Structures are given as C-alpha cells and as structure tokens.
Homo-oligomer: A and B are copies of this chain.
Amino acid sequence: MDYTTLNNGLKTPLLGTLLACTAHIAAAEPLQIQDQGSFSVGGRIVTAPGRFDPIAHGAYRPGSQESAGQTLHGDHAYVFYQVPVNARRLPLVMWHGYGQSGQTWETTPDGREGFQTLFLRRRYPVYLIDQPRRGRAAKSTASGQLAAAPDEQLWFGIFRLGIWPTLYDGVQFSPEPAALEQFFRQSVPDTAAIDLEANIAATTAPFARIGPGILVTHSHSGGMGWASAMRSENIRAIISFEPGSNFPFPEAELPTPVPHIGGLAQGIAVPDADFAALTRIPILIYYGDNIPAAPTPENPGQDQWRALLAIARQWAATVNRHGGDVTLVHLPDIGLHGNTHFPMSDLNNREVADHMARFLKTKGLSD
C-alpha cells in the first residue's frame, strides 16, 4: 500500500471499510451496560486577584473581559466510564499516549471495536481518561500556543506503520485510505505544555473515586503510569502498551543509556521506597513488531523503539530481581506479527485482547 495518493479529495471517511465494519459490529451480541457517564477529577484552581463585580463585569465582551476575582478550573482529567452488567471486580482504567485522547481505545481507525468495547464484552468496567490539557480535559491553568505544524508523516514512521508512504509488509494496519485518515484525525494537540505532575495527580484521582483497579497505559502514559502506581495503592496491576521513556530504577541500578538516532533512551532514578511499589503488583508490558535488534540509522522511526525496548528489558529484569512480577511480551515472540505502536487498535487487536485477558485471569485479577 502506498499513501502518495492520500490527498485526492478524501474529505469525509465514508468509505466501504467503515460501513462494512459497522454492519459487522451490529451483528454482535448487545452490550449490557449497568451504568455509564463521565466526570472530571483532579486539577487545580487559579483565582485572579481582585473582586468580581457581577454587575460591572457580568456581560460578555470578547477581547476586553475583566478577570479580577474570577476563577479558572483546569488541569483535571476527563473520565468516561461504562460498567457492564455482572461486572468483574477490578475496572480497567485506560490512559492514552502522546498526542492522543481516550478515543484511542474506542473504535479502531478501520472501524472495528477497540479495547473499550472489547473489554466491556469481557465484563470489565472500562474507564477512559483524557489527561490534563488534552481532549475534553483541555482547560488548562497555563496559557498555550498551538502551532498547526504538519507532522503526520513523522508519526507514520515513529508509530511504525511503515516508511512513508509505504506500509510495512504484513503490518497490522488497514491499507484503506480511510483508516489512515481516521488515524491522523484521532490525534489531538496539547493545549499547554505537558505537565507531568498534573497528569500523574489527575490520573491517580479516578482510583481514589472508584477504588482498586487496573491501569492500562500506552506509550507516553507508560512512564507516567509507573509514577502513578507509586502514589496510589488502588492501582493493583498495570498493562502497558509500548511504554516510552521514564522507566524508574533505584539510583544504584540505573542502566547505561542506549543511544538511538533521535537521542538517548534511559532510566530515571527514584527513591528505593517508590521503586518498591512497582515490585508489589503484576505488570504486563507489550511491544509490537518491526523493532530492530541492531541500530538502524536508515529507519529513524524504528530506531528509538530498539533503544526503548532494551531499557524496558533491563527494567523488567531489575523489578523482578527485587521480587517483582513484570512480564514483557515482544509480540512477535508469541506469534503475533506486524503490530504497530498501537497493538490495542491494530487489525489483530482481538488476539491481543485475548492474551491480555488470559494474563489477568492468571494473575487473579479477573474475578
């Protein structure tokens, strides 16, 4: 598949694939939903100095608005949840990756059911997060500048769909142009600089509300998710899809950084007590296909994952050496080939879900 013809009038994705898949889904068993809804959690409140006068300053006058004495609630997370009938005990709290929102767990780019619906069918309560300053949690206490800079071909490579404009042979991504169109449109910008502390605080907050659960992370939220688990004992397990940077190590055991063409993959040092939190829960990490074993300067999109996978393997070994329970699955090793950076929405995502469900059962997390 070659995407050089992508821009030829593709304005609305009304193509055959999506419609066919809708019909497919409609034939499935109905979902039985006991409860659903949304809420905001975490966040900060800023108050401008002065006093708000509801008479003098109570009319909307764009460009000349008076902030004195007014508040701004921001930096919270948005959470949409669904609880199926006869639900399992521990909900799955799914946290998107860089440039994504909760949509990443909904319908796949090619129109099939994503992990949200697939795990509702398996009777797990599912909570989808939009992290602070992203998506429906876009309201920020910091100002931001958004540059509308074209960069989608860069991510096509980094997300390991292929080398632009060509998909990898056997990649688990639909060759239909409508699928790539949907994929590109799923991404959302940050409305202000990413604030790791706000993200970690806001995404542990749902666990304070809902109680014990399983955190599911992807890419950039992988690193933040380790930090979340250090703070919240309600995080009883972590499933992480292709976690990125910020693997936390005891300072004395930091691995040698691994260079790649875009920089360095490295661990971060954390206090031993924080690290210990990660030795007390089951952790499952997935990486997909097309991650080279040796440096590949001729393919920058792949090269960073080689370095990150190397650090991830050292991290798993380190946690397990301290009594932890980390399972790292490189999907080709278990016979699942062609996965991109998004195994949860790839063409074989049902097989990935099957594997994850078996893990949860094995670890006693599925009652």
Q: Measuring CB to CB, which residues of chain A are less than 8 angstroms from any residue of chain B?
A: 6-7, 10-14, 18, 22, 25-26, 28, 30-48, 52, 54-55, 57-61, 65, 67, 69-74, 76, 78, 80, 83, 85, 101-103, 106-107, 111, 113-114, 117, 130, 134-154, 157-158, 163-164, 181-182, 184-189, 191-192, 205, 208-209, 260-263, 298-301, 303-304
- CB-defined contacts of A67 to chain B, threshold 8 Å: 149-151
Minimum CB distance partner of A25 in chain B? B35
Q: A83-B26, A300-B58 are in contact. Are A182 and B148 (CB under 8 A)?
A: no
The residue among A137, A139, A185 with the most chain B CB atoms within 10 A of its own CB is A185
Interface centre among A13, A39, A145, A261 (most CB of B within 10 A): A39
Tell me the minimal C-beta distance from A321 to chain B in angstroms: 31
A-B residue pairs in contact (CB < 8 Å), sample of 19: A6-B71, A7-B45, A30-B33, A32-B33, A37-B117, A46-B148, A48-B149, A55-B298, A55-B299, A60-B154, A60-B158, A60-B262, A71-B150, A71-B153, A72-B150, A135-B136, A139-B189, A144-B145, A144-B148
Return the contact of A40 from the options B13, B65, B71, B154 (Cβ within 8 A): B13
List 5 additional contacts besides A11-B45, A13-B41, A14-B209; criterion CB under 8 Å. Answer: A32-B32, A54-B153, A60-B154, A65-B149, A143-B145
CB distance from A97 to the nearest CB of B (A): 13
CB contacts (< 8 Å) of A154 on chain B: these are 52, 57-58, 60, 65, 70
Distance to closest chain B CB from A232 (angstroms): 12
A351 to chain B, nearest CB (A): 20
Contacts of A149 in B (CB 8 A): 48, 65, 67, 72
Question: Is there an interface contact between A188 and B138, defined as CB atoms closer than 8 Å?
Answer: yes
Asked if A185 contacts B139 (CB within 8 A), the reply is yes
CA distance A12 to B76 in the complex (A): 9
- Measured in the bound complex, the distance between the Cα atoms of B40 and A261 in whole Å is 34
Give the docked Cα–Cα distance between A298 and B56 (Å): 9
The chain B residue sitting closest to A45, CB to CB, is B7
The answer to whether B148 and A42 have CB atoms under 8 Å apart is no
Would you call B52 and A164 a contact (CB within 8 A)?
A: yes
- Enumerate chain B residues within 8 angstroms of A26, measured Cβ to Cβ: 34-35, 83
Closest Cβ of chain B: how far from A188's Cβ, in Å? 4
Out of B12, B73, B139, B303, which one reaches A208, CB within 8 Å? Answer: B12
The oligomer's copy count stands at 2
| Residue among B35, B57, B303 making CB contact with A22, cutoff 8 Å | B35
Q: From residue A179, how far is it (CB to closest CB) to chain B in Å?
A: 11
Question: In whole angstroms, how far apart are the Cα atoms of A208 and B107 in the complex?
Answer: 19
CA distance A150 to B61 in the complex (A): 14
- Complex contacts, A157 vs chain B, CB 8 Å: 54, 58
- Name A38's contact: one of B69, B103, B136, B145 (CB within 8 Å): B103
Report yes or no: A146 in contact with B148, Cβ–Cβ below 8 A. Answer: no
Which one of A78, A154, A186 has the greatest number of beta carbons of chain B within 10 Å? A154
A141 to chain B, nearest CB (A): 5
Contact among B31, B151, B184 with A36 in the assembled complex (CB-CB below 8 Å):
B31
Provided the pairs A38-B107, A59-B262 are in contact, do residues A148 and B153 lie with their beta carbons within 8 angstroms?
no
| Bound form: Cα–Cα A205–B12 in Å | 7
Chain B positions within 8 Å of A10 at CB level:
45
User: Within the complex, which residue of B61, B80, B146, B185 is in contact with A143, where a contact is CB–CB below 8 Å?
Assistant: B146
Contact A147 B143 (CB under 8 A): yes
